[in-house]
Amino acid sequence: MKPEVIIISIASDNYCYLIRSGNDAAVIDPAESDPVMAEVEKRNLNLQYILATHHHSDHTAGIPEIKRKTGAQVYGGDKKIKSIDKVFLDGESFLLGDIEIVVMSMPGHTRHQVAYYLPGYNMIFTGDTLFGAGCGRIFEGSADQLYNSLMKISGLADDTLIYFGHEYTLENLEFASMVDEGNQEVGKRLEEVRQLRRENKATVPSTVMLEKATNPFLRVHTIGIRRYLGMVDRSAVAVFEELRKRKDRF
C-alpha cells in the first residue's frame, strides 16, 4: 500500500509530517504535540514511531507529550533527541507496516542529522539538510559534510519527492535568482512559488529534478554561479562554502 503523507504546518514556517500505512503511522519532526495529536485522533491512527531528523527544539519540542499520549517509539540519529528510544546508524532501516524506511546520515546542519528515505516509493524527508531551493545553515558540522550530504540527495532518482522542514522556498529562490542569474528555471519556479504563497499554500513536496535545476547549492559546478562568486577555478566545496556564507547574510 502506497504511504499517505499528511503535511502539518506548525508555527510560522515549520513542517512536520505524518506517514500513514493503513492505520499505522509515524510522525516526523513534531515541533508541537497538539496539531499532531489532532490529526492522529481525527484519522484514528495507531502512531508507532516518532522520527526526528535532528535534535533542535523546533523539530523535537512536541516529542515527550506525543510519546506520553501514544506510547510511540522515538527514533533518530542523535542521542541528544528528547526521549529517544533508539539511535540509528547510516543505512539502517525499519518497517512501518510493509513500508521500509531507511535512515540516511546527513551531517552538516548538525553533527548527527539524518534523513528518512522510503526507497520503495521514492520519498525522502530531509529536515534541515535540504530545503526548497536551499539548504540548512552549518551549525555543528562542516561545509564539506553538508555538501556531501546534499550530493547524497541529488544522487537519488529524479522523481524522488522531497519533504523538507521549513517553508523557506520563496526567500531561497530570491537568493537563487541573484546568484544564478539567467537561470530560466529559477525564474519560472519563483513565479509559481509566489503564487502558492499568496494563496497560503505549501511548496512541499519538491523533487530531486526540480532541486537540481533551481537550487544553487546543488549547482555549484555551474559557470554562472562560479563567475558570480569570482571562483571559477575553485573546488566545489569551496564554492559551496562561500555560497552558504552569502546566504547567511542575505
Burial of 176 (0-12, 13-18, 19+ CB in 10 A): buried
Q: Which helix (H) or strand (E) holds 214?
A: helix 208-214
pLDDT bin (cut points 50, 70, 90) of residue 88 is very high
Q: How confident is the model at residue 4 (pLDDT cuts 50, 70, 90)?
A: very high
Which CATH number goes with the domain that contains 104? Answer: 3.60.15.10
User: Cβ neighbours of residue 161 under 8 Å, at least 6 residues apart?
Assistant: 122, 123, 124, 205, 206, 207
Report the chain's mean pLDDT, rounded to a whole number.
97
pTM of the predicted model, to two decimals? Answer: 0.97
**pLDDT for res 15:** 98
Which pLDDT tens digit goes with each residue over 23-59? 999 999 999 999 999 999 999 999 999 999 999 999 9
DSSP assignment letter at 51: E
What are 4's strand-pairing partners?
20
Identify the domain containing residue 36 by its residue range.
4-249
State the total domains in the chain: 1
